[in-house]
Amino acid sequence: MTERRLGIIMNGVTGRMGTNQHLVRSILAIRSQGGVALKDGTRVMPDPILVGRNREKVQRLAQAHGIERWTTDLEAALHSTADEVYFDAASTNLRKENLEKAIAAGKHVYCEKPTAASLEDAIALWRLARRAGVKHGVVQDKLFLPGLLKMKRLVESGFFGRILSVRGEFGYWVFEGDWQSAQRPSWNYKKAEGGGIILDMLCHWRYVLDNLFGEVKAVSCLGATHIPKRWDEQGRAYEADADDAAYATFELEGGIIAQINSSWATRVRRDDLVTFHVDGTLGSAVAGLTRCWTQARVNTPKPVWNPDLRQPIDFFAQWQEVPDNDPFENGFKAQWELFIRHVCEDGPFPWNLEAGAKGVQLAEAGLRSWKERRWVEIPALEG
């Protein structure tokens, strides 16, 4: 059994999501399972080098997980021939620059979203990677949520008949930071640092809608900054000038309408932190992060509007849970394995920098729609 080493420069995995999802549950988990098996039987063993600007933080992270290689010198790492892949989960504002350097150094690149701060930049990156002939990919983790994998099953099984509409509710209350500390970093709420829920979430909604229901064709979006004053990690008050809520409606191919609210200033009374409610002629479904419930046409109650009676129907009782049937892998790991196969044996990987640019395109269109108070069409990208 042949084993092949794959050097991976991991930049910016000292944050919560980077450490937990990309490092521990993906790369380290792949190592401890003996690597990724290719079709020819070769096992690819990822060998990470951690990169970070804060020497102490990156060193501590490396030691905590028994990782030998770490550095604060990104340039040097990129110019070493020991590593073939560059992964970027560092600051959004530096992503484009970092990815350009990595591509210039001939690395295959994989990164978090958004891939750039503007559509123009995102397309430029895509073109650059294509011309350089390197492999490229963008994290689209929500596609691998068990709840959305079940939703995809439902779509593929024909359960819905013709799909009519999608309702999404994302969000929860992010504490202001004064009387209780905030559970998300402060940069999310500052325009100048790349914050804003539209830029963050519309990138996600693009690939979720495109992959599950149909290509997004147009968007109408209204943003808001519901909480204009927050307190940061050091307890200092700051002006939160980025949008913290977005009320968006999308037209998808096939006449499907998707209406999705995203908010960090809402209290949750629903099945999960994000829910997608899909109605079709033959049935409906609601998916959260991990669970999914269906109501088939034949189980649909026939309510009548009667203001005199307290509602006699429990509208949660006619829904049936979709069983797991198979265990679900961690989604970040599953996508990492696909990217490793993409690099090592040219396996399929549709979520590349074009897909990344599409996410940015939708976010940008959402922002324009908000500003111009009108629907904005979403044309196909010219690569």
Range 172-201, binding a copy of itself (CB under 8 A): 172-173, 175, 178-181, 183
**Paired tokens of 147:** 């709840």
**Paired tokens of 26:** 């993906």
Query: Does 334 help bind a copy of itself (rule: CB under 8 A)?
Result: no
Q: How far is the CB of 124 from a copy of itself (least distance, A)?
A: 30
Cα–Cα distance, 203 to 92 (Å, whole number): 13
Backbone angles phi and psi of 15, in degrees to 5: -75, 170
**Paired tokens of 383:** 């690569």
Query: Does 326 help bind a copy of itself (rule: CB under 8 A)?
Result: yes
Chain residues 213-232 in contact with a copy of itself, contact rule CB under 8 A:
220, 222, 224, 226-227
Contact 268, 258 (CB under 8 A): no
What b/e string do you get for 17-41 counting C-beta neighbours within 10 Å, with b at 16 or more? Answer: ebbebbbbbbbbbbbeeebbebeee
Chain residues 335-364 in contact with a copy of itself, contact rule CB under 8 A:
none
* CB neighbour list of residue 84: distance below 8 Å, 6 or more residues apart: 6, 7, 8, 107, 108, 343
* Beta-ladder partners of 306: none
The residue (of 40 and 382) whose beta carbon lies closer to a copy of itself is 40
* Residues near a copy of itself (CB under 8 A), total: 95
Chain residues 303-322 in contact with a copy of itself, contact rule CB under 8 A:
303-305, 307-311, 315-316, 318-322
Query: Does 263 help bind a copy of itself (rule: CB under 8 A)?
Result: yes
Among 121, 141, 200, 337, interactor with a copy of itself by CB under 8 A: 141
Query: Does 157 help bind a copy of itself (rule: CB under 8 A)?
Result: yes
Dihedral over Cα of 328, 332, 333, 338: its sign: positive
Query: Does 63 help bind a copy of itself (rule: CB under 8 A)?
Result: no
Query: Does 131 help bind a copy of itself (rule: CB under 8 A)?
Result: no
Among 21, 115, 211, 352, interactor with a copy of itself by CB under 8 A: 21
Query: Does 245 help bind a copy of itself (rule: CB under 8 A)?
Result: yes
